[in-house]
Amino acid sequence: KQEVTQIPAALSVPEGENLVLNCSFTDSAIYNLQWFRQDPGKGLTSLLLIQSSQREQTSGRLNASLDKSSGRSTLYIAASQPGDSATYLCAVRWNAGGTSYGKLTFGQGTILTVHP
Amino acid sequence: DGGITQSPKYLFRKEGQNVTLSCEQNLNHDAMYWYRQDPGQGLRLIYYSQIVNDFQKGDIAEGYSVSREKKESFPLTVTSAQKNPTAFYLCATTSWQGREQYFGPGTRLTVT
């Protein structure tokens, strides 16, 4: 069964810390992996997209890595700020043939709180 | 201004009434999706459409219906057959190139 798991479920850190969020998946036949941020009562905002042929992607203070062989991705946030407080979700798009877009499976998310 | 719009932001209905949630996009994406989000349950797929005039059931389609008459629009109807309709509903699109998923701002539906 194709599943995505995120650990930890919640994380609280002081401002300025570097932190790592983890995402694991059960099948290495992935098309891509996407990290999202969700603020309370809002939609999901795409942070980073890593295609299966890539090892990492960077955007500002965010860096996401992908290791298909071990079934893991990490989201690294440098110098965390209170404004980074949100729920972070990873989603894996599995390979599919033909004209199919492939199924997208979400993890349950990590609730991040950065306190001043 | 490119993106996905969902309206209304908040919707209140009485039990037994059908209600339609709007989703419009100007990203020129073929694929569109409806998800439901409940506290502690994560995102669950209701319906998706990869092309105009075609759509498929997701994991929790019972009590919902959709149409896809235009590329830009994918409305979701929550029928009176849906037992627990109160939830946060999210519309999304996917680009064919790169298969990146984009989300709208969501509609919070409350049924009493």
- What is the reported pLDDT for A15? 98
Which of A79, A65, A10 has the alpha carbon at shortest distance from A35?
A65
Q: What is the largest CA-CA distance in chain A?
A: 50
Q: What is the pLDDT of residues B24-39, one digit of tens each?
A: 999 999 999 999 999 8
Chain B partners of A107 at a C-beta cutoff of 8 Å?
42
Smallest CA–CA distance, residue B89 to chain A, in Å, is 9
Q: What is the DSSP letter of B70?
A: B
- What is the reported pLDDT for A97? 76
Cβ–Cβ below 8 Å for A49 and B98: yes
Q: Helix (H, G, I), strand (E, B), or coil: what is residue A54?
A: coil
Locate tokens 């990492």: which residue? Answer: A56
- What is the reported pLDDT for A1? 85
Cβ–Cβ below 8 Å for B50 and A101: yes
Cβ–Cβ below 8 Å for A93 and B103: no
Q: Looking at the predicted structure, is the pLDDT value of residue A98 above 90?
A: no
* b/e A79-115 (16+ beta carbons within 10 angstroms → b): ebeeebbbbbbbbbbbeeeeeebbbbbbbbbbbbebe
Smallest CA–CA distance, residue A6 to chain B, in Å, is 12
The answer to whether residue B88 neighbours chain A at the CB level (below 8 Å) is yes
Q: Please report, rounded to a whole number, the percentage of residues in chain A having pLDDT higher than 90.
A: 90
Q: Which of A89, A101, A105 to mutate to test the interface with B (most CBs of B within 10 A)?
A: A101
Closest CA in chain B for residue A96? B99
Cβ–Cβ below 8 Å for A51 and B98: yes
Closest CA in chain A for residue B88? A41
- What is the reported pLDDT for A75? 98
Q: Looking at the predicted structure, is the pLDDT value of residue B78 above 60?
A: yes
Q: What is the pLDDT of residues A11-59, one digit of tens each?
A: 999 999 999 999 999 998 999 999 999 999 999 999 999 999 999 999 9
Cβ–Cβ below 8 Å for A46 and B42: no
Closest CA in chain B for residue A43? B105
Binning pLDDT at 50, 70 and 90, where does residue B98 land? confident
